[in-house]
């Protein structure tokens, strides 16, 4: 492990001191763990993005709504057809 000196705002330092105390650890260890977690999340995101970009599966569509949705639209149109003339 390496030592690092960092500069932080007083409010951030106060927060990390409290957070470290609640976890019964040092500020140094807590900040180190936070950096490792961030690194792992970003690595996982980058890996998922690479896998997604490498996936050559294509999706096609017939541009036709499922029958249930088209029937719902028909029912809606029938119910509200009379309302259109009421507001003219």
- pLDDT in tens for each of the 88 residues of the chain? 888 899 999 999 999 999 999 999 999 999 999 999 999 999 999 999 999 888 887 777 777 666 666 677 788 888 887 665 555 4
Mean pLDDT of the chain: 85
Torsion angle of C-alpha atoms 39, 45, 47, 48, degrees rounded to 10:
160
| pTM score | 0.54
The CB density around residue 17, as the number of other CB atoms within 10 Å, is: 13
**Domain span at 60:** 10-80
pLDDT score for 69: 64
Structural domain count, the chain: 1
Which of 1, 37, 28, 9 has its CA nearest to residue 19? 28
On whether residue 48 sits in a domain, the answer given is yes
On whether residue 4 sits in a domain, the answer given is no
């Amino acid at each position: 492990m390496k030592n690092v000196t960092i500069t932080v705002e007083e409010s951030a330092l106060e927060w990390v001191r409290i957070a470290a105390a609640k976890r019964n650890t040092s500020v140094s260890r807590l900040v180190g763990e936070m950096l490792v977690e961030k690194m792992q999340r970003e690595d996982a995101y980058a890996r998922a993005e690479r896998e997604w970009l490498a996936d050559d599966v294509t999706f096609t569509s017939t541009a036709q709504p499922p029958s249930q949705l088209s029937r719902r639209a028909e029912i809606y149109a029938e119910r509200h057809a009379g309302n259109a003339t009421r507001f003219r």
